[in-house]
Amino acid sequence: MSPAKRHEMFARLRAANPNPTTELAWSSPFELLVAVILSAQMTDKGVNAATAKLFPVANTPQAIAALGLDGLLPYLRTINFCNTKAANVLATCTALLERHGGEVPRDREALESLPGVGRKTANVVLNTVFREPAMAVDTHIFRVANRTGLAPGEDVREVEDRLLKVVPAEFLLDAHHWLILHGRYVCKARTPECWRCEIRDLCAYRPKTPDPAATVPPPRAKAVAKKQASRVRTVAKVVRSRAGAPARRRKEQA
């Protein structure tokens, strides 16, 4: 994708959504950190349902550490891999209290040393909380970057590095959210909704998905087509039967 197209792509995404942000619910860096730890292989909606009950009761490292595993697990029962994630959240609380005065560090290395925190989680926190130009490449961003030709790559790290290189500076802080939201709601995994995509003329993906409303015949057209097909079959039957009549007659006379 050319630099001019890349600029146009983000200009359109920005025009459609000037203030993009995460769909995870959070009101402090610690809440976001916990929500992102819980979000692996979970929808944001599922995480929000759990944290809506947990955070009013405990939303600091001290408070969650005080709950302990038995106190924390009931809030996370609906979360995938809840036992592992609960253990990671508790260990992260302990690490934050022991090493960072109970605060979420603004440092990649320190973040990635926390239990349950990998590069992607660190990138989300650095970008969303601290507004660093970090690119958390999840499955949506990976797909959009490859399909559109924006930043193709074999793995998430390659796509992350390429995005950081090619996204125009003025869009870098919010690019992560625009790409996630575009992948989640328009450029969907199974069927990208190209017919209503605001960047379709800039995107390299071929063939574009056509508008289903324009390709599926309306019910009346379907009924008419069925009737016509039945009529054709009947006529063909009559023709076949007439064609065989002289031969049958000759056979009878013989």
How far apart are alpha carbons 243 and 237 in whole angstroms? 10
* Residue 163 binds to ligand SF4 (criterion: CB under 6 A): no
Q: Sign of dihedral through CA atoms 63, 66, 71, 77? A: positive
Select 9 or 86, whichever has its Cβ closest to ligand SF4. 9
How many residues bind ligand SF4 (CB under 6 A)? The answer is 13
Of 5, 70, 120, 165, the catalytic one is 120
Catalytic, 138? Answer yes
Angle (CA) 133-142-43 rounded to 5° is 90
- Smallest CA-to-CA distance from 96 within 29, 162, 38, 143 is with 29
Q: Which of residues 129-148 bind ligand SF4 (CB under 6 A)?
A: 147-148
Which helix (H) or strand (E) element contains residue 47? helix 44-54
Single-letter code of the amino acid located at 76: L
Which helix (H) or strand (E) element contains residue 70? helix 61-72
The minimum distance between CB 215 and ligand SF4, in angstroms, equals 16
Q: Which of residues 177-236 bind ligand SF4 (CB under 6 A)?
A: 186-187, 192-194, 197, 199-200, 203, 205, 208
Select 94 or 209, whichever has its Cβ closest to ligand SF4. 209
Q: Which residues bind ligand SF4 (CB under 6 A)?
A: 147-148, 186-187, 192-194, 197, 199-200, 203, 205, 208
Active site residues: 120, 138
